Amino acid sequence: MRPNSQGLKHKSSHDTEREFGGTLGAICIPVFLPLTVLFLISVSRCPEASVLKWPPSLPSTDHLWDPLALMVLLGWISLHALLYLTPATAFTFVCLSPSGFHGLCISGVLLLLLVGLGAPLGYLFELLVPLAVCAIAVSFLFSVYLYIRSFCAPSDALALGGNTGNPLYDFFIGRELNPRIGNFDLKYFCELRPGLIGWVVINLGMLMKEVELRGSPSLAMILVNCFQLLYVADALWNEEAVLTTMDIVHDGFGFMLVFGDLAWVPFTYSLQAAFLVVHPQALTFLGAAAIIALNGVGYYIFRKSNSQKNQFRRDPSHPSVARLETIATATGKRLLVSGWWGLVRHPNYLGDLLMALAWSLPCGFSHLLPYFYVIYFTILLIHREDRDERQCRAKYGLAWDTYCRRVPYRIFPYIY
Ligand SMILES: NC(=O)C1=CN([C@@H]2O[C@H](COP(=O)(O)OP(=O)(O)OC[C@H]3O[C@@H](n4cnc5c(N)ncnc54)[C@H](OP(=O)(O)O)[C@@H]3O)[C@@H](O)[C@H]2O)C=CC1
Ligand SMILES: CC(C)CCC[C@@H](C)[C@H]1CC=C2C3=C(CC[C@@]21C)[C@@]1(C)CC[C@H](O)C(C)(C)[C@@H]1CC3
């Protein structure tokens, strides 16, 4: 057996553990999730906006395709590929900031120019369904390309879990860990650039549509736009931290991540803004202040806990983390058992979930749809926590069990 780039030995196709429901999941998820995206966008623009209505509303076939949508999508991905390849020093006005953040700033400047020249950004509302259809199609084609090219990759470039020998499952999970074209890291690019920045551009399009319809943006729309812009800007400012996430370190680059990055994130994470275009909400200043406070608390916990772990992993002797209590593991790495990581085993998930709730609350309580993100995200993070737990137990053995005894709660103190 030959160690791969994850430092682990390849198992045979029979003993590789299958995740996400195995082969059945790999067949159902690529059918079910793209339909879910189209269903949710359709529901968000119906006056009744009911996710429980039967039969479910799906867009009619003549609304699925628009050549303009394909041009916009391919232009957008190409622009970000170009920015990704341009050396950071070329952007002297933001040269001290990380390169993902340049992408966001430059997109912002270009959009302002377009709006200044009279481009109707609000038209994104009409284009949303065909754009999502194109993003789904591009995700499928790109995943097929990744699957085929993975057979030319050396075995130490393959992901541990994506090489079961079952083509459907391997296509879904991803065979190659970090596919590159020269220096261009395809997974890193997709995880942080076109989809994540596309999400805030769609939000802005929804805000402009509201301005077209009602003359000015509502307080609820402004809050949703600002909260989510802060989240995306934070991700791009701290972009190197993504290099330690399980998606980059452990998971292959297959349909699940490609679709997640290019279609799921931009089109389902922007549902609150799309909902508000057709379902305006009256928000009091007191209500808005409470929601801002909730988002602030969530962001504080999310940022502080992520930064504490990143700082500790980078330099454990740094004064900000040197006094924290730790336990040793057999690998030589230490685990934090005080500070944020002594409160619960995933304080960053707790902060992220509080923010998710704050993004839905401006949409009021009359509909379930704006709460889709919080519900989906709770399930995603509980499942992710379980996967991470298994990986950490395999890596750290007894030390991980000691950590779990010291810090018994996973995400919510005294609850879970
Ligand atoms: N908006 C979205 O859709 C999503 C957002 N996220 C967010 O992304 C961020 C990253 O999440 P994710 O990658 O899942 O996980 P984490 O950032 O929580 O990283 C988990 C890893 O941290 C290390 N670790 C765990 N406990 C300790 C400890 N006590 N001391 C030191 N190191 C420890 C382990 O790796 P090691 O020991 O190898 O360093 C473990 O594998 C989170 O804030 C999450 O909320 C995630 C998914 C989706
Ligand atoms: C299609 C499925 C239902 C789910 C696919 C999951 C993906 C959408 C997520 C897996 C991990 C992600 C991360 C982020 C976005 C969502 C996906 C791609 C992230 C970039 C969001 C911003 C954060 O600050 C982060 C820490 C950089 C996130 C990293 C993980």
Distance separating alpha carbons of residues 149 and 171, to the nearest angstrom: 11
Question: CB neighbours (10 Å) of residue 80?
Answer: 23
Would you say 264 and 196 are in contact if contact means Cβ atoms under 8 Å apart? Answer: no
Task: Tell the residue nearest (CA) to atom 9 of ligand 1.
Answer: 348
| Residue 343 in contact with ligand 1 by CB distance below 6 A | no
Tell me the two tokens of residue 386: 């379980």
* 176 and 59 within one domain: yes
Q: Which pLDDT belongs to residue 262?
A: 98
**Residue ranges in 182-270 assigned as alpha helix (H):** 186-192, 194-214, 219-237, 246-249, 255-259, 265-268
Q: Which pLDDT belongs to residue 93?
A: 52
Is position 415 within any domain? Answer: yes
* 99 and 77 within one domain: yes
- Quote helix, strand, coil % in the chain, to nearest 5: 65, 5, 30
* 343 and 244 within one domain: no
Is position 5 within any domain? Answer: no
Number of domains in the chain: 2
| Residue 250 in contact with ligand 1 by CB distance below 6 A | no
* 213 and 136 within one domain: yes
| Residue 400 in contact with ligand 1 by CB distance below 6 A | no
Would you say 221 and 213 are in contact if contact means Cβ atoms under 8 Å apart? Answer: no
* 252 and 317 within one domain: no
* 272 and 398 within one domain: no
| Residue 188 in contact with ligand 2 by CB distance below 6 A | no
Is position 209 within any domain? Answer: yes
Is position 82 within any domain? Answer: yes
Closest CA to 155 of 254, 46, 270, 252: 252
How far from chain centre, in Å, is Cα 290? 26
> Of 264, 271, 352, 353, which is best to mutate to test ligand 2, by the most ligand atoms within 8 angstroms of its C-beta?
264
Q: In tens digits, what is the pLDDT along the chain, a chain of 416 residues?
A: 333 444 444 444 445 678 888 889 999 999 999 999 999 999 999 888 888 877 777 788 888 999 999 999 999 999 999 999 887 666 555 555 568 898 899 999 999 999 999 999 999 999 999 999 999 999 999 999 999 999 999 999 999 888 888 999 999 999 999 999 998 999 999 999 999 999 999 999 999 999 999 999 999 999 999 999 999 999 999 998 888 888 898 889 999 999 999 999 999 999 999 999 999 999 999 999 999 999 999 999 999 999 999 999 999 999 999 999 999 999 989 999 999 999 999 999 999 999 999 999 999 999 999 999 999 999 999 999 999 999 999 999 999 999 999 999 999 998 99
Question: CB neighbours (10 Å) of residue 156?
Answer: 12
Asked which of 281, 313, 331 is the last residue of a domain, the reply is 281
List the domain range (segments joined by +) for residue 159. Answer: 21-281
| Residue 335 in contact with ligand 1 by CB distance below 6 A | yes
| Residue 235 in contact with ligand 2 by CB distance below 6 A | yes
